[in-house]
Structure 1
Amino acid sequence: MSIETTNPGPTPVAPTGAPSDAPPRRRGYWSMWATVPREFGFLILTMPIAITGLVLLSTTFFTGLGLIFLVFGIFIVVASLFMARGFGALELVRLRWAGRPETIQPAWGRGDREQGFWRATFAPFVDGHYWLYLLHGMVVNPIVSVISWSLTVAWSSVALAGTTGWIWQRYIPDSGRDVWPVEWVLEFMFPGNTWDVDPVIAETIFEFIVGLIFLATLPLVFRGLTLLHDVIARGMLGAWRSEALEREVAQLSASRGAAVQAEDASLRRLERDIHDGPQQRLVRLQMDLAAIERKLDRDPESARELLGEARDQARETLDELRALSRGFAPPILQDRGLAVGLRSLATRSPVPVEVEIALPDASLPSPIERNAYFVVAELLTNAAKHADATGVRLVVSTRDTGETGHWLDLWVTDNGRGGASTLPGHGLAGLADRVQGLQGLFVVDSPVGGPTTIGAHIPYVPIAASAAPSPIE
């Protein structure tokens, strides 16, 4: 582990969109009681909402179906499909309120299929999600809701009545009651017993024990019934796997386009910088050398002065080339790793840089190191040239989030004038595109007056994992 700390100060807080490396908390039996009120509210409202949806959907759909030979019957059927979509969305919202993870909804507007009034109107006919929502609202949800609502009411009633019956049953007259279920239970459990027990007391104890059992299993039953609705909703109301793949392909295409644009912008800027800087100086140096050659014999003193100017021009050209080369991966990055390369950047920065680097002993993938080096180099250059900063802090670390994989976190904070932005035309737009091209997150917090905090969070696959042979091989 390579760690270097120089007056680190407070560690910047990761933004809301950044992945968290906090391990998920295990939920035990007692923690399930915290969600019992919400799950009870979800389950007790399930049947009224489902029956209401069944009445409205069946009435609208079958009315439109019966009038399908008329033009307006088609619109009634379409209205029922949109209504089914609304009831399905309500079910997903209720499940999320009950504590279930969010279900990704289908991509309702896709491409040119909903361009124009008529395409938007008749889109439900060719979208299978609408028909699944209708099936869920008219058939599946009413049946499941009746079962879950009945179990919820019965379980809650037995749990509450059994545990509290000893309080209020004494005030209810038995009117010469002759049938005591507890006697059947005792006879079943202990056949042939001759016990002489008070049936009232035995019945009260028996009901209390049964009530405790139902009360103890209440969170499990509520959780199971809620999970049943959640599984059905995910299968019928959620997005299909093919749609997730389409979104992933679209995101990858957008990221690749952003990376290509960032590289193109970097090359154009490098070309412009070379043309305006070292190239002009080299032309000037060539002219000075030609003048020195002409004056060397007839005016040695003047030639000597020009030779000094030519030496200055060569030194300044070399300095500019070194500055431009910071945008590329230097040999030290390949030989010594990212930590040493970033420390070298911090050392060469005209603004003092406080460094805190915590990187794994194993090397990061070369593309990640190269892009991270470039991002930090650009941020340090911006802080020196445009932010009027007198101090910069660089924090670099890695995280293993488990579900979302490994992440490299880069934080650059300066005490400059602020006002930085990633809007098109600003200097940070190219860096944002570059990080987005790596499937990462680029965060800018730069109020006017400063300070400016910029974070780049880049996902990566460890070299050990990426180099492992495939199971197929």
Structure 2
Amino acid sequence: MAMGYGERHHRQGFQDGGARRHRLPAALRAPFEARSRREFAYVMLNLPMGVLLFTYAVTMVALGAGLLVTFLGVPVLAAALAGCRALGRVERARARGLLGLEVGEPEPLRVRGTGPMGWTVAVLKSGTSWRHLLYAVLHFPWAVFSFSVAVTVWAYGWALLTYPLWFWLFPVYGGQGGLQLYGDEQHSVYLDNPFEITVTALVGLLFTLASPWIVRALTTVDRLLVHGLLGPSRLASRVVELESDRGVVVDTAAADLRRIERDLHDGAQARLVNLAMDLGLAREKLREDPQAAARMVDEAHGEVKTALQELRDLARGIHPAVLTDRGLDAALSSVASRCIVPVRVEVDLPSRPAPAIEGIAYFTVSELLQNISKHSGARSASVDVWRSADRLMIQVADDGVGGADTAPAGGSGLAGLAERLDAVDGILLVDSPAGGPTRVTAELPWRG
């Protein structure tokens, strides 16, 4: 995605300033970064939260299972799952606040009945509820492990690193030379001379520098657990995405219908109305002034030709006949011939895709070539179409001034084009630095 010169300059300045502020490598400054502290706090809270979740889940599920022989078992089990969902909300908030992990809310309960029974059935049938219960059970052993590892590494690291500051406690209060490394009935090894103290501090430094990365690796597992079990399921996310895409398709179709209606009303329809009026006047003047009537008929003939051309252009904008009859190669060559800059077209397809995908590819190239004609200031352009595995690839390039952007504020129309492609699981990528060149790549699913 392209950005303006001012934004690039600001971002470059920010990066340069960041480089000046962080002269230490990441490995040395990691123990003192706010992110490391937040991640360590998250791991520390893992244990109490894990105990709470596990205790609640096991207790309530065991109670509900034991009461299944009575009418109380089912509502108790539903209450257990509802409680796990509530605690899952707390876990998502904790991950968002300390790990910066943005996890969407899972799909809500779909209560079809009325009263407590409808709610109970909805909770028990919800896959989200059972995933929250699974998280409560699986999170406990991981919380114990991650807490133990993090505390051990952190404590040993800082204790050994600061050993030169406090080793004097052993001879003063413990009656021994220092920290005992080994001891039996005959030998005792203490860390008490300068060399051993220095080596101990260096080992502690290694532990201290490694502890943030170890904690970060531990939180990676937590991220996977929260995202996989407490977030929306892939099926639910896909349903939401398809509903959004369906809305885009409906809006696009409505906009196209309004455009066609407007073009007909302001173009061909207006010309045909004027044509009818001119022919009526010519008929009235036919006996009185045949020559004037003939001139009016000639003018009407010109209006008919103009109206026919507008209708042809409109039909081509809806779905060109050349695309249906001869495919993308001929249709794109026809579009390229109307561009104000020379366009090289190369289409390498083993077969024709589905008509819907073929139509979207055609209108995508048409829109991009129209942008080149209006905004690029290019001297030449190219269109390449090929198939890669199960994707139809389109690349339109020009040597113009660049600066194209998919942001709606850019006014280039690329944002609407990206939405159209996204509605059919397509992708639009724009590479257009200031000064050019511009390269726009579109991917569409191949459906034969």
Match of residue 352 from structure 2: none
Pick which of 158-167 and 269-278 moved more: 269-278
Mapped partners of 2:194, 2:177: distance in 1: 14
1:299 equivalent to 2:282? Answer no
| Secondary structure of 2:174's aligned partner | coil
CA shift for structure 1 position 218: 1.1
Q: 1:12 to 1:72 in 2, by over 3 A?
A: farther
1:266 equivalent to 2:259? Answer yes
| Secondary structure of 2:131's aligned partner | helix
CA shift for structure 1 position 140: 1.4
Match of residue 40 from structure 2: 40
Pick which of 457-466 and 119-128 moved more: 457-466
CA shift for structure 1 position 126: 1.0
CA shift for structure 1 position 225: 0.8
CA shift for structure 1 position 259: 3.8
1:135 equivalent to 2:134? Answer yes
Amino acid at match of 1:46: N
1:370 equivalent to 2:369? Answer no
Match of residue 383 from structure 1: none
Aligned positions of 1:2-401 closer than 5 A: 29=27, 34=33, 35-68=35-68, 71=71, 74-99=74-99, 101-109=101-109, 113-114=111-112, 116-117=114-115, 118-137=117-136, 139-171=137-169, 173-177=172-176, 181-182=180-181, 199-201=192-194, 203-273=196-266, 276-292=269-285, 294-295=286-287, 299-300=289-290, 303-304=291-292, 306-307=293-294, 325=313, 328-329=316-317, 334-335=332-333, 341=339, 365-371=361-367, 394=375
Mapped partners of 1:61, 1:222: distance in 2: 32
Q: What TM-score do you get using the length of structure 1 for normalisation?
A: 0.59
| Secondary structure of 2:225's aligned partner | helix
Pick which of 319-328 and 255-264 moved more: 319-328
Q: 1:264 to 1:198 in 2, by over 3 A?
A: closer
Q: Deviations along 1:56-78, whole A, 9 cap, x unmatched?
A: 44444444444445555543332
Amino acid at match of 1:287: G
Q: 1:371 to 1:469 in 2, by over 3 A?
A: closer
Amino acid at match of 2:166: W
Mapped partners of 2:132, 2:377: distance in 1: 48
Q: Deviations along 1:261-291, whole A, 9 cap, x unmatched?
A: 3343334444444574022122123223433
CA shift for structure 1 position 232: 2.7
CA shift for structure 1 position 104: 4.9
Q: 1:365 to 1:13 in 2, by over 3 A?
A: farther
Mapped partners of 1:242, 1:414: distance in 2: 34
Q: 1:206 to 1:73 in 2, by over 3 A?
A: same
Q: Deviations along 1:428-467, whole A, 9 cap, x unmatched?
A: 9xx9988744437xxxxxxxxxxxxxxxx98279999979
Q: 1:275 to 1:126 in 2, by over 3 A?
A: same
Q: Deviations along 1:375-428, whole A, 9 cap, x unmatched?
A: x7xxxxxxxxxxxxxxxx957999xxxxxx98984689899xxxxxxxxxxxx9
CA shift for structure 1 position 32: 5.3
Which structure ranks higher in relative contact order (CA pairs < 8 Å, sequence separation ≥ 6)? 1
Tell me how large the CA RMSD over aligned residues is.
Answer: 5.4
Mapped partners of 2:445, 2:71: distance in 1: 63
CA shift for structure 1 position 220: 1.7
CA shift for structure 1 position 371: 4.9
Mapped partners of 1:126, 1:213: distance in 2: 51
Match of residue 434 from structure 2: none
Pick which of 221-230 and 329-338 moved more: 329-338
Amino acid at match of 1:130: S
Q: 1:171 to 1:337 in 2, by over 3 A?
A: farther
Q: Deviations along 1:6-35, whole A, 9 cap, x unmatched?
A: xxxx77989xxxxxxxxxxxx964685542
| Secondary structure of 1:41's aligned partner | helix
Mapped partners of 1:199, 1:435: distance in 2: 69
Q: Deviations along 1:128-165, whole A, 9 cap, x unmatched?
A: 2212211221x211211111112111111112111122
- Number of equivalences: 370
Mapped partners of 2:344, 2:27: distance in 1: 38
Q: Structure 2: 5+ residue runs without aligned partners?
A: 9-24, 323-329, 348-359, 382-393, 397-403, 431-438
Mapped partners of 2:417, 2:179: distance in 1: 78
Pick which of 140-149 and 226-235 moved more: 226-235
Mapped partners of 2:53, 2:305: distance in 1: 76
Q: 1:409 to 1:326 in 2, by over 3 A?
A: farther
Amino acid at match of 2:422: Q
Q: Deviations along 1:193-229, whole A, 9 cap, x unmatched?
A: xxx9973545533431221121121122111110121
Q: 1:268 to 1:372 in 2, by over 3 A?
A: farther
| Secondary structure of 2:428's aligned partner | strand
CA shift for structure 1 position 174: 4.0
Q: Structure 1: 5+ residue runs without aligned partners?
A: 1-9, 15-26, 185-191, 345-358, 377-392, 399-404, 416-427, 441-456
| Secondary structure of 1:45's aligned partner | helix
Q: What TM-score do you get using the length of structure 2 for normalisation?
A: 0.62
1:439 equivalent to 2:437? Answer no
Mapped partners of 2:64, 2:56: distance in 1: 12
C-alpha contact 1:394 1:412 (8 A) present in aligned 2: no
Amino acid at match of 1:199: D
Identity of aligned residues (%): 18
